[in-house]
C-alpha cells in the first residue's frame, strides 16, 4: 500500500506509518490527528451517508463543525458499511498493510465486528491496535456510555469546578482531550517498542482513567487531608492569593503568589501595606488559604483603585506572575501567537476560504508539521479502493450497493 499521497515539506518523523481509524467524536480523532501532524497516513473510516457524527455538531466554521475542523485535518476519508461483508473485507485489506488501528466505537462493537485487540494481533502480529473506551473494557462499567461531561462527573472533577453554590462543567472537552493525548502517546510508545524489540503492544485508554490521572492532586489532598478542595470559582483551591481581581476599569487581572518572597513583594510594592507580612493571619501559605476571604478583600480594595494596566505593571515590577483574564477573541489575537508565527492556513470542505489553525505545540527542530486539508466524507474512497486493486467497475458497484459513499 502506498504510504501517503501528501508531499509535506521536509522529512516528517512518522512518514511511512499507516493508521486506520474507526473513530468518531473527539478522543480518537484527536489522537490520530496528532499522528497525521507528524506525517502518518491516517485513513479515517466513516459511515456512508454522513460519516462521523461530529461533522454535524455545529456549522460555525464556514459551514463545517468547529470540533471536526480541529480534529481531522491531514486525514483521508473512506466510507465503508461495516454491516456488509464486503465492507469488513475491505477494512481487513487495509489492516493487512497498516501499522496502527484505532477505534472508539460503542462498547462491544469492535468485538462484534471481529476487531478486538486479541483477534487483530493474532491475525496481524505487527499491527498496533488502540482501543479508546469510556470506562475500560472489563468490569461492571465497561458497557456504559461515557460522554465527556459524564466522565467529568464520575471522576469528581465537576465537584471541584465552579463556585461554592454551583458546580460548573470545564469549558472544554477535558476528558476526551485527556483520553486522546494518552492514546497518542501510547501509540508512539508502542511504535517505538515495535521498532526496538519487534513486539507490537496493544494500547488501551479509557476516558475515565485518563481524567482520573489528572485528578490525582485533589485525590491525594482528599484522601490524606480528610476533605476535598473546595469550589472557589476562578481562584486556586489550595494556594492564596491566586485568582482574579477586578481593576477600576472593569478588567479582571489574575495574580499568583507562590512563596514568601512573592508575598512580601505583593504587600510592599503592590498593596502598599508591608505590615501584612507580619500579620499572623497571612504568615504561611496555609494561613492565607484559611483566611482567604479577608485577604481577598484587602487585595480587591487595592485593585479597585488601580487600572488594569497599572495593576499589571506594578505586579511585573514586583516580579509577581499575573495575566489579564482574556476572552477567546483576545486569545486569538495574542502576541505570543502572532509574534511566534503560530498560525497556519488549512483548507476545509465546501469553502473557498481556508481557516486559521494553530501549529501543534510540540516543536521539533527541523520538522514542519503537516497541515493538510480537512477531508469531506468519503472524499478518498475511490482512490483508496483503487490502491487495494479495485477497478472502476467494481468501485461503482460497491458504491451503488451502499458499501461505500
**Distance, CA of 393 to chain centre:** 41
Please report where in the chains the cell 461533522 appears, as a residue.
Answer: 55
Cα 41 from chain centre: 20
Strand ranges (DSSP E) for 249-302? Answer: 252-256
Angle among Cα 284, 276, 265 to the nearest 5 degrees reads 80
Candidates 62, 92, 236, 291; catalytic one: 236
- Terminal-to-terminal C-alpha distance of the chain: 21
Grid cell in block for residue 278 = 507580619
- Secondary structure element (H or E) that encloses residue 149, with its range: helix 148-154
| Phi, psi (rounded to 5 degrees) for 287 | -65, -40
Asked if residue 350 lies in contact with residue 62, where contact means CB atoms within 8 angstroms, the answer is: yes
User: Cell numbers of 140, please?
Assistant: 461492571
User: Are 212 and 139 spatial neighbours (Cβ–Cβ below 8 Å)?
Assistant: no
Q: For residue 236, indicate whether it is catalytic.
A: yes
Tracing cell 468490569 back to the chain, one arrives at 139
What is the dihedral sign for C-alpha 71, 117, 174, 35?
Answer: negative
The secondary structure of residue 267, as a DSSP letter, is: I
The H or E element that residue 129 is part of is strand 128-133
Q: Which three cell numbers stand for residue 23?
A: 473513530
Residues serving a catalytic function are: 236
Amino acid at each position: 500500500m502506498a504510504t501517503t499521497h501528501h508531499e509535506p515539506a521536509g522529512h516528517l518523523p512518522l512518514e511511512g506509518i499507516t493508521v486506520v481509524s474507526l473513530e468518531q467524536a473527539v478522543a480518537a480523532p484527536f489522537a490520530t490527528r496528532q499522528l497525521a501532524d507528524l506525517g502518518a497516513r491516517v485513513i479515517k473510516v466513516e459511515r456512508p451517508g454522513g460519516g462521523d457524527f461530529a461533522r454535524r455538531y455545529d456549522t460555525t466554521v464556514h459551514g463545517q463543525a468547529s470540533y471536526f475542523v480541529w480534529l481531522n485535518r491531514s486525514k483521508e476519508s473512506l466510507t465503508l458499511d461495516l454491516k456488509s461483508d464486503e465492507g469488513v473485507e475491505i477494512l481487513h485489506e487495509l489492516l493487512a498493510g497498516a501499522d496502527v488501528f484505532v477505534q472508539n466505537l460503542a462498547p462491544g462493537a469492535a468485538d462484534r465486528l471481529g476487531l478486538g485487540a486479541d483477534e487483530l494481533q493474532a491475525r496481524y502480529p505487527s499491527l498496533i491496535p488502540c482501543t479508546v473506551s469510556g470506562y475500560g473494557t472489563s468490569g461492571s462499567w465497561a458497557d456504559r456510555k461515557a460522554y465527556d461531561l459524564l466522565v467529568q462527573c464520575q471522576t469528581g472533577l465537576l465537584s471541584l469546578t465552579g463556585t461554592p453554590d454551583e458546580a460548573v462543567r470545564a469549558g472544554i472537552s477535558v476528558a476526551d482531550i485527556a483520553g486522546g493525548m494518552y492514546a497518542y502517546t501510547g501509540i508512539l510508545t508502542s511504535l517505538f517498542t515495535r521498532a526496538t524489540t519487534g513486539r507490537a503492544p496493544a494500547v488501551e485508554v479509557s476516558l475515565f482513567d485518563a481524567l482520573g490521572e489528572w485528578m490525582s492532586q485533589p485525590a491525594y489532598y482528599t484522601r490524606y487531608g480528610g476533605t476535598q478542595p473546595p469550589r472557589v470559582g476562578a481562584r486556586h483551591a489550595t494556594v492564596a492569593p491566586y485568582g482574579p481581581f477586578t481593576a477600576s476599569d472593569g478588567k479582571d487581572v489574575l495574580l499568583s503568589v507562590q512563596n514568601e518572597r512573592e508575598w512580601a513583594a505583593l504587600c510592599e510594592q503592590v498593596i502598599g501595606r508591608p505590615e501584612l507580612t507580619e500579620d499572623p493571619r497571612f504568615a504561611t501559605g496555609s494561613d492565607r488559604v484559611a483566611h482567604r476571604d479577608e485577604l481577598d478583600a484587602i487585595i480587591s480594595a487595592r485593585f479597585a483603585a488601580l487600572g488594569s494596566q497599572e495593576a499589571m505593571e506594578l505586579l511585573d515590577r514586583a516580579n509577581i506572575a499575573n495575566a489579564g483574564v482574556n476572552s477567546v477573541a483576545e486569545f486569538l489575537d495574542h502576541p505570543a501567537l502572532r509574534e511566534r508565527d503560530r498560525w497556519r492556513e488549512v483548507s476545509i470542505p465546501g469553502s473557498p476560504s481556508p481557516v486559521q489553525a494553530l501549529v501543534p505545540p510540540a516543536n521539533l527542530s527541523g520538522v514542519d508539521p503537516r497541515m493538510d486539508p480537512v477531508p469531506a466524507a468519503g472524499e478518498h474512497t475511490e482512490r483508496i479502493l483503487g490502491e487495494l486493486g479495485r477497478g472502476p467497475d467494481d468501485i461503482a458497484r460497491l458504491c451503488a450497493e451502499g458499501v461505500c459513499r
